[in-house]
Amino acid sequence: MLEQGTISIHTENIFPIIKKWLYSDHEIFLRELVSNGVDAIQKLRMIARTGDYGGDIDHPEITIAIDKEAKQLKITDTGLGMTAEEVKKYITQVAFSSAEEFVEKYKNQADQAIIGHFGLGFYSSFMVAKTVEIDTLSYQTGATGVKWHCDGSTEYSLSESDRTVVGTTITLTMQEEELDYLEPARIKELVRKYCDFLPVPIKLDGEQINKQKAAWKESPSALTKEDYLEFYRYLYPFQEEPLLWVHLNTDYPFVVNGILYFPKLRPDIDVTKGQIKLFCNQVFVSDNCEEVIPKFLLPLRGVIDSSDIPLNVSRSFLQNDRTVRRIADYIAKKVGDRLKELYRDDPQAYARSWNDLGTFVKFGSINDDKFKEQVKDIIIFRTSANLAAPKPEDAGDEWADEKSLVVDGQSYTTLKDYLSRTSEKQGQRVYYCTDEVNQATYVNLLQSQGIEVLFMDNYFDTHFVPWLEQEYKDLKFSRVDAELDETLIDKDKAAEIVDPGSNKTRSELIKSLFEKALNKPNVTIRTEPLKSDNPEGAPPAMILLPESTRRMQEMMAMMQQKLSIDLPNEHTLLVNTSHPLVQNLITLSQGSIVQTSGQSPSAELADQLCAYIYDLALIGQRGLDAEGMKQFSQRASSVLTRLTTMASK
């Protein structure tokens, strides 16, 4: 070894760095000084409890006074004060905090945490002040007042003070460019932002300017529903009421307190931006908790308070911090528990809020395996089944539970219950609808045949269906318009021959009629007689889009950031040969009077009607673009004119 030594720091050089760069935001000086005052008050309280101090501790307060003329801001606390020795020890030694010593000595009395720990906060006052003065009197018997004065250089002076009241006053003489801190409105704003929930009254001109009561520090049993709602309104004024809240309250193995609220979600909510306020011992730290709470819970609102989240380190470090990760897990678990509790205790309320709660549950299930395990069984879907109907005679025991998931005439079900009702008829197939209005034809058709459809029409569901498929590999998820269920086809009618001359079935005739009339090689014409009690009520034709083709289309649209999805050119037009309109087409197309142009007027009408039926099917799929819409209305009036002309002949 050549040499061993101690690294030395030159105060003159490091001091400006501390003053300028430690905290980039100048305004936090007030937070630091006020929280020092609160610490001093808490400490005196603890000391009094051990009997080491007999003075008044019942009127703790921090007063802020502004003297514009002298350009001074004074912050006075009724805390424990300091002796000259302590000023020298704690103030003049930068980065030396009394917290550790103190907490060690009074650990049994600590019901309120001490905020400061680093021994740096006080120096943030030099970011805004030319000179700082401390005037303090210690609670200790026989102590005399002390004045400490420093102009921001490394020199300071210490002198006697004639102060008679225990406590401390910090006087800042502000720098010229920081005079806005002498505006009462600015001070109020800062106190409200950072110190609103500190447990001591903070006064300006005799008026208390902080709320003081931190609801999240109370025991959940001490709070009523109205208390929670009132706190929410206080934090987020003029917002809709929250749906649900979770009170976090643990001090082992880490300290986390907080109240998280589930808000009603807006579809355009930015899920990457958090709205939860992060506190450390009731002092506001930040409005974004991205690193601290699981991503899928970011749209929650409320407060998280933890002294175990290292705050003075870089944000990216937080993500890798083990405690922070465990806190995130803990929060996710608590949220999952709360959701399960609501599902169990008030399924109606759960179902009513499902549209919003579901987004968290689904997003969370996709992103977090542990959370998924927790909530898997409480994922529900709105269903086309009417579960409020009287229990069928052959229904199983689950029926009773299902009934409770009916709200405002809408029924909700879990996947498990869906399968228990449908698997006999539908096997492992799950039918779902993503747009109730535009897919109504399909849903009605399936429903008329006793097939149950789940509505997956929340904006998040496009991402959720593929996940469900991954999770439940033996199930087959089909959107209502993806393919035709075999049970919908009237097998008896399918082979019926209607044209003895050519020996063709009705299906074959209609197929060639449509192929000729539409003349669209990309469109596959499929003809099937659909079962129906009321053939006129069933659709004459529908567009079918295989799941795989549609998904590809959706993916492309997403990549190109398109909002709406065009119908792919290649698709199937399913023509319902049971529909009277379609059946009439055969008769029409075979109309006898052939004109010189080669086609009879009725055959021409039949062609037009084919195109018209195709248009209707496209509308059912929202597949008409502007040009298509124009042609459709032209065709509609032309068809109607022809029909009325024919009828009036």
Side chain identity at 198, as an amino acid letter?
L
Considering beta carbons, is residue 118 or 459 the nearer one to ligand ATP?
118
CB of residue 230 vs ligand ATP: minimum separation in angstroms? 31
- Known binding site: residues? 32, 36, 77, 82, 168, 315
Considering beta carbons, is residue 92 or 637 the nearer one to ligand ATP?
92
- Known binding site for ATP: residues? 32, 36, 77, 82, 168, 315
The residues near 287 (Cβ < 8 Å, ≥ 6 apart) are 274, 275, 277, 278
CB of residue 146 vs ligand ATP: minimum separation in angstroms? 11
Residue 128: count other Cβ atoms within 10 Å of its Cβ.
22
* Interface ranges with ligand ATP (CB under 6 A): 32, 36-37, 40, 77, 79-80, 82, 90-91, 97-99, 116-122, 168
Considering beta carbons, is residue 121 or 258 the nearer one to ligand ATP?
121
CB of residue 101 vs ligand ATP: minimum separation in angstroms? 9
Considering beta carbons, is residue 171 or 583 the nearer one to ligand ATP?
171
CB of residue 98 vs ligand ATP: minimum separation in angstroms? 3
Considering beta carbons, is residue 138 or 275 the nearer one to ligand ATP?
138
Considering beta carbons, is residue 77 or 291 the nearer one to ligand ATP?
77
Q: Annotate 300-345 with DSSP letters as a single string.
A: -EEEEE-TTS--SS-HHHHHH-HHHHHHHHHHHHHHHHHHHHHHHH
Strands lying side by side in the sheet with 476-479: 406-407, 410-414, 380-383, 453-455, 429-433, 476-479
CB of residue 298 vs ligand ATP: minimum separation in angstroms? 28
Considering beta carbons, is residue 90 or 194 the nearer one to ligand ATP?
90
CB of residue 40 vs ligand ATP: minimum separation in angstroms? 3
Quick check: 443 and 436 in contact, CB under 8 A? Answer: yes
CB of residue 215 vs ligand ATP: minimum separation in angstroms? 25
CB of residue 324 vs ligand ATP: minimum separation in angstroms? 18
Residue 201: count other Cβ atoms within 10 Å of its Cβ.
15
Considering beta carbons, is residue 279 or 296 the nearer one to ligand ATP?
279
Whether the link from the prior residue into 253 is cis, omega within 30° of 0, is yes
Q: Annotate 527-563 with DSSP letters as a single string.
A: EE-B--SSTTTS-SEEEE--HHHHHHHHHHHHHTT-S
CA distance 11 to 205: 38
CA distance 440 to 448: 12
CA distance 393 to 26: 73
- Locate 67 and state its tokens: 């003297």
Quick check: 126 and 132 in contact, CB under 8 A? Answer: yes
The residue written with tokens 């609160």 in the block is 38
Considering beta carbons, is residue 143 or 300 the nearer one to ligand ATP?
143
- Locate 370 and state its tokens: 């542990």
Considering beta carbons, is residue 39 or 417 the nearer one to ligand ATP?
39
CB of residue 102 vs ligand ATP: minimum separation in angstroms? 7
CA distance 224 to 204: 31
Q: Looking at beta carbons, which pairs linking 466-474 to residues 24 or more positions away fall under 8 Å?
A: 466/551, 467/362, 467/365, 467/366, 468/415, 471/376, 472/415, 474/428
Q: Which of 139, 138, 93 minimizes the C-alpha distance to 118? A: 93
- The phi-psi region of residue 124 (left if phi > 0; otherwise alpha if psi is between -120 and 50; otherwise beta) is alpha
CB of residue 229 vs ligand ATP: minimum separation in angstroms? 34
Q: How far is CA 633 from CA 219, 609, 611, 629, in A?
A: 66, 13, 12, 6
Give me the residue whose beta carbon is nearest to ligand ATP. 116
